């Protein structure tokens, strides 16, 4: 057994996953290391492979893929309760998690970073609600409303990738914007009932490949950056708000947006209509109601 376990979808990168895995193996060997490779076979398999790998004794488990693969591997490591380090080699659609941690180079750069051992402990979020009443961990963000709907639709566009898929999804969502959610937001700083079309509970700066929802976020400060729209927006106003999300300038408008750092968030809906995601992965799709979100300070070591 080698020191590292690489988890990859063989069908990723338009069917080039196995070829990339062998390329990654050669890069490790060129740097004097070896790596074991595990291929995923279905949704959720990366989580179970990471869980088994952590319990088996690998010192580092590497997610090769997009945000979904990274989220699954992180959940496997966290569920193992083992102090296993995590590596990320981004080859996915949005790669927001890798972007937030400064992992933006190619395969060689990613492998070199892992072999060097450079990295730090980062915060991990845990959301309970929707399809995960017992909880799901996340490394980047937990979103409700407009931004999750764009993320879900972008994932359904099988013939386009990257930022183009998010732009097309954004245009389609704007044709029929989401109705405001009637929710109560409870934090250690306030309890507030509002009608809102977007709530973001962020560890990282960027979500949805293009939205700078938490421009001041730090991945290791022990806090979420909470942001929400404070009233219902018209289609034109929502479009203008999204343009601000793209630039990360929305927090300067105290009338339309609220934002501050918190340790915990509870979101209580009047009806089970909320759509939500963590790291781009489905938590609820128009059927969520109550959610609680907590932070595990510096809960995971990531090579970054």
CA–CA separation, 279 and 220 (whole Å): 17
Round the average pLDDT of the chain to a whole number and report it: 92
Q: Per-residue pLDDT tens for 235-262?
A: 888 778 878 888 889 988 889 999 999 9
Asked if CATH classification 2.60.200.40 holds for the domain at 125-299, the reply, yes or no, is yes
pLDDT at position 238: 79
Domain positions in the chain: 4-118, 125-299
In the chain, alpha helices (H) = 12-15, 17-30, 45-56, 67-80, 96-100, 107-116, 146-156, 162-175, 235-247
Report whether pLDDT(162) > 70.
no
Asked if CATH classification 3.40.50.10330 holds for the domain at 4-118, the reply, yes or no, is yes
Q: How confident is the model at residue 101 (pLDDT cuts 50, 70, 90)?
A: very high
Q: How confident is the model at residue 282 (pLDDT cuts 50, 70, 90)?
A: very high
pTM over 0.85: yes
Q: Per-residue pLDDT tens for 50-86?
A: 999 999 999 999 999 999 999 999 999 999 999 999 9
């Amino acid at each position: 057994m080698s020191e590292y376990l690489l988890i990859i979808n063989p069908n990723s990168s338009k069917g080039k996953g196995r070829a990339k895995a062998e390329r990654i193996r050669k890069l490790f060997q060129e740097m004097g290391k070896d790596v074991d490779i595990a291929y995923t076979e279905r949704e959720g398999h990366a989580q179970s492979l990471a869980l088994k790998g952590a319990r088996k004794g690998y010192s580092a488990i590497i997610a090769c893929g997009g945000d979904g693969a990274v989220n699954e591997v992180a959940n496997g490591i966290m569920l193992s309760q083992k102090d296993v380090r995590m590596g990320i080699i981004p080859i996915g659609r949005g790669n927001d998690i890798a972007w937030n941690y400064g992992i933006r180079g190619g395969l060689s750069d990613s492998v070199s970073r892992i072999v060097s051992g450079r990295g730090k402990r980062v915060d991990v979020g845990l959301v309970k609600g929707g399809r995960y009443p017992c909880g799901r961990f996340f490394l980047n963000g937990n979103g409700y409303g407009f931004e999750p709907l764009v993320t879900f639709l972008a994932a359904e566009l099988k013939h386009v990738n990257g930022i183009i898929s998010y732009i097309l999804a954004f245009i389609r969502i704007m044709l029929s914007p989401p109705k405001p959610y009637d929710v109560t937001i409870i934090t250690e700083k306030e309890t507030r009932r509002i009608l809102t079309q977007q709530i973001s509970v962020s560890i990282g700066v960027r979500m949805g490949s293009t939205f700078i929802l938490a421009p001041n976020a730090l991945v290791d400060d022990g806090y979420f950056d909470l942001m929400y729209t404070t009233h219902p927006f018209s289609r034109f106003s929502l479009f203008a708000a999204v343009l601000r999300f793209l630039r990360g300038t929305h927090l300067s408008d105290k009338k339309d947006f609220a934002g501050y750092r918190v340790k915990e968030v509870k979101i209580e809906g009047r009806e089970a209509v909320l759509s939500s995601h963590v790291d781009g992965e489905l938590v609820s799709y128009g059927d969520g109601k109550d959610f609680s979100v907590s932070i595990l300070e510096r809960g995971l070591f990531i090579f970054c």
